[in-house]
Structure 1
Amino acid sequence: MSDHKGADEEGQVLFVDEQGQSKPGKRIKDRRNRMIWPTRVKFLTNVLGAAILLLLLYSIYISAIHIYLDRSGRSEQFNRAVLSVIELHEDGLRVEKPAFPNIEVTPFLTQKTTLKLYRDVGKWQVITGEVHAKLTISGKLTYSVERTSPYLNQDDRPAFILPYSVMFEETIEANPKTESDLKLLDQVGEGHVAQLSFSTKTLMPPEELHKLLADYDLAITGMPVYAGELKEFEVGYSLGDSKDYYVSHLSLKPRYGFREDNSLSMWQFYFKPEEDQHNMPEHVEHMKSDIEWMINNASYNGEDEDKQRLAYIQKNGVQVYGATVTGPVKELQRLKERPEFREFRLGRIEVWNWD
């Protein structure tokens, strides 16, 4: 069996198979290929041009969004919301404060950022994790905290125990003070600084606790605030049958200064012993205004509880039940002399960096 060769009207060679179907010859195939390839090249060129145009339009759109967010103040509002929510609620954690934070913006106007978290240990700012935060166009703020540790399974978060008088009307003898963490400091040389948290046996005004610590060469970085948790509303827990209650709480920290556009203008690392005992009302009022700002300008997990906390402290005043302090190891060891303090929790230890 074989094909029969013929020619078309233009003289091109054709082949006819057994079924009578004509097949193009070599010259026809070459001609067709010469027509197909320019078409393919043109198509690919058009696709590439369209992709470049879309990329250019997307870049212009994203740039316009950045300009809008910057000029409208939404970027600064996002930064302030992250700073306030983290530092008021996360024990002992501070958020880095770059002059020009790196903010990613999605096409749907959601802002995202990643910032370092640190703790004040002596005069060091020790990085202990990252916060990944995002703010949608509707104002919903969400974040996740990623803690890092130089040691496996280490939990370096301070924990504070509510005074028994908050939960029980009858007098309960407090458990012996936890001094195991303080004993660890006996093994540390004096050329070191550390972070330590402790609870108090009773609620007290922050000025009173500040006064108790005035004789120590230490810096106060924060104090847990009692705002009605577990009495006015249910936020907190106890371990097993223990009468020790832990609550998520607000932290009273050295105040920040914000400009009208919500950009950060100043901040303190510590409560200063020589002046903040008298300036404590100013720090307290700043905390109240910061909570109120958060409630009015951001939507976040725990917002409803903060509304109840704010109402409680506006009615009953601010009382604290512990502190996070930092300074020389030798000074931290002296804290066990105070009968008012209990439940010591040792945090990070670093080489000497103290004035």
Structure 2
Amino acid sequence: MKCEETRKKLDAYLHGTCTPEEERAIEEHLHTCGECGRYMEEHLKRQASPDADPAIPELSREEQRKIVRKAKWKNRFATSIVVFNIFIIISLISMMATGIIYAFIGTDANRVIQTAVQMTMPNVYSDAGGTNIKVFFNADLEGSLQKRVGSEERYVGKYHGKMILNHLNFSREWVDGRYDLDLYFLHPQVFASQQEEEKESYRRGANETWEALKMLPEGTVSELAVSLDDVYSFDEMYQILKDYDVEIVWYAVDTGTEEERDSHLLSMGETLWGIHEYALHSLVEEDVYQEKGDGHIREKAFKNGLALLAEHERWAEKVIWNYDETSIKDIQKYVDEHGVKCYGAVLTGPTKELLKLAGNEHVIYAALGEVDFWNWYNKDAGGALYH
């Protein structure tokens, strides 16, 4: 029944003179039409006014009010059902749209986070990251943070990212609530520019590291950051370190920005850039399973990493401490002109094998990181549980 017909039959309905079919049709219309419900209420008010012709008994008027209240509540309930159904439909549509969007954005964001972490944190990398799709274009990112000490990968924390479309909020969660920065580097140009007294203080610092390695027992493995007397290509670094039973896990790369800091020792957040061995698998397409050699692949990986961060600078600045967009562009220009050269590396292996580097003429500084029990062998099986 339409609005016009309902209003014509309203008096007959209130007096109870409609047919049962007409009553049902009017009630169904009142349940869904708020405008006619309000019209009915105004009609009753006019009937109840002192000037109105008392055509309807008082009792009938009370019953009419009940009818109006019932119609109102049914109308509100029906409206709520409609709104709820619309909300469910919108939520489902938004979830599907969000899933489609983050199938691309989520993968890119995780790559940027992992690349930024492993290029600015010595010997820290992320080997896995996932995207948890939410509704209304929200998503949660999460991945593990690890490092290598000896032959074992050690879990040191995880990262969290919350995304709303292209906006990223980023945080790290470390094991025991913190991550100790023990790996420091000394750039050779910075060392050469110092007075002899300053140079001697760095030599003393390196000697303390060598003494600590002497005191550690034979059955241990360690993590060591070594700084070299000049900048070298990847292949040249392999030649310098080829006679030692150690593994290079992270390379400190010369970017032309190392002399800009007040602090001469460089660590995370202090213009320290590099490349982790693990990152090669995600930043280049070539076969990178050789332990040594293929320096051109490492060069390509570093340049590809810089290009990825420059392309997604809004995400990169959330991950990198003291992020500077201009700095990345300057670094890209610098390595294009000078090549990708290294002035240091994070090494891991048997403690006493690392101690032999004290006699290497190219090593000008060393910093000791973590130490663990002997694990310098290949296990038949292994793994980890995180949940």
Whether TM exceeds 0.5 here: the answer is yes
Cα RMSD after superposing both structures: 3.8
**Local SS of the residue matching 2:206:** coil
Question: Could you tell me which residue of structure 1 aligns to residue 228 of structure 2?
Answer: 200
Question: Could you tell me which residue of structure 2 aligns to residue 103 of structure 1?
Answer: 132
1 or 2, which has the higher helix percentage?
A: 2
Is 1:256 the counterpart of 2:271? The answer is no
Alignment partner for residue 183 of structure 2, among 146, 158, 166?
A: 158
Task: Give the drift of 1:209.
Answer: 2.2
Distance in structure 2 (CA, Å) of the matches to 1:119 and 1:147: 12
Alignment partner for residue 361 of structure 2, among 336, 339, 354?
A: 339
1:235-263 per-residue CA deviation (whole Å, 9 max, x = no partner) reads x231xxxx6566322213335345xxx9x
Question: CA 1:267/1:188 → structure 2, altered by over 3 Å: closer, same or farther?
Answer: farther
Task: Give the drift of 1:111.
Answer: 4.4
Alignment partner for residue 158 of structure 2, among 130, 150, 172?
A: 130
Is 1:62 the counterpart of 2:95? The answer is yes
**Local SS of the residue matching 1:118:** strand
Task: Give the drift of 1:113.
Answer: 0.6
Gaps of 5+ in 2: 1-60, 318-323, 378-387
Q: How does 1:22-61 map to 2 (within 5 A)?
A: 43=76, 47=80, 50-51=83-84, 53-61=86-94
* Count of residue pairs brought into register by the alignment: 307
| Alpha-carbon contact 1:156-1:348 (below 8 Å) kept | no
Is 1:352 the counterpart of 2:377? The answer is no
Question: CA 1:49/1:343 → structure 2, altered by over 3 Å: closer, same or farther?
Answer: farther
Which of the two has higher C-alpha Rg?
A: 2
**Local SS of the residue matching 1:221:** strand
Question: Could you tell me which residue of structure 1 aligns to residue 44 of structure 2?
Answer: none
Is 1:328 the counterpart of 2:350? The answer is yes
Question: CA 1:303/1:132 → structure 2, altered by over 3 Å: closer, same or farther?
Answer: farther
With normalisation by structure 2, the TM-score equals 0.66
Question: CA 1:41/1:344 → structure 2, altered by over 3 Å: closer, same or farther?
Answer: farther
Question: CA 1:168/1:106 → structure 2, altered by over 3 Å: closer, same or farther?
Answer: farther
1:16-47 per-residue CA deviation (whole Å, 9 max, x = no partner) reads xxxxxxxxxxxx99999999799768756753
* 1:216 partner letter: Y
Question: CA 1:42/1:307 → structure 2, altered by over 3 Å: closer, same or farther?
Answer: same
Q: Which runs of 4+ in 1 moved over 6 A?
A: 28-39, 169-172, 264-268
Distance in structure 1 (CA, Å) of the matches to 2:195 and 2:115: 37
Task: Give the drift of 1:211.
Answer: 1.5
Distance in structure 1 (CA, Å) of the matches to 2:374 and 2:285: 30
Gaps of 5+ in 1: 1-27
- Taking only the aligned residue pairs, the percentage that are identical comes to 18
1 or 2, which has the higher strand percentage?
A: 1
| Alpha-carbon contact 1:256-1:267 (below 8 Å) kept | no
* 2:237 partner letter: L
Is 1:179 the counterpart of 2:179? The answer is no
